[in-house]
Amino acid sequence: MTSLEFTDQVQKISYSLKPVAMNLTRDADDAKDLVQETLLKAMLNKDKFKAGTNLKAWLYTIMRNTFINNYNKITKRNSNIDSTEYFQYFNTDENYITHNGASSDFVVTDINAAIAGLSADYRTPFMMYYIGYKYLEIAEKLQIPIGTVKNRIHIARKELKQALKTYAPGV
Instruction: Tell me how many domains the chain contains.
Output: 2
pLDDT of residue 154: 95
Question: Is residue 135, in this structure, part of any structural domain at all?
Answer: yes
What percent of the chain shows pLDDT beyond 70? 82
The domain of 110 spans 97-170
**Is residue 92 domain-resident?**
no
Q: Which of 85, 107, 137 is the last residue of a domain?
A: 85
Confidence (pLDDT) at 84:
55
Question: Both 3 and 77 in a single domain?
Answer: yes
- Domain identity same for 78 and 109: no
For residue 42, pLDDT over 60 is answered with yes
Both 80 and 102 in a single domain?
no
pLDDT tier for residue 171 given thresholds of 50, 70 and 90: low
Q: Are 121 and 153 found together in one domain?
A: yes
Q: Quick one: pLDDT at residue 164?
A: 87
Q: Are 138 and 125 within 8 A, CB to CB? A: yes
Q: In this structure, is residue 90 part of a structural domain?
A: no
| DSSP code of residue 49 | S
Is 116 domain-assigned? yes
Q: Output the domain CATH number for residue 125.
A: 1.10.10.10
Share of the chain above pLDDT 90, in %: 57
Q: What CATH number did the domain enclosing 42 receive?
A: 1.10.1740.10
Domain final residue, candidates 20, 51, 85: 85
**What would the pLDDT profile of 65-122 be if each residue is shown by its tens digit?**
999 998 888 877 665 555 555 555 555 555 555 556 666 677 788 888 999 999 999 9
Nearest partner of 51 among 1, 86, 94, 16, judged by Cα = 1
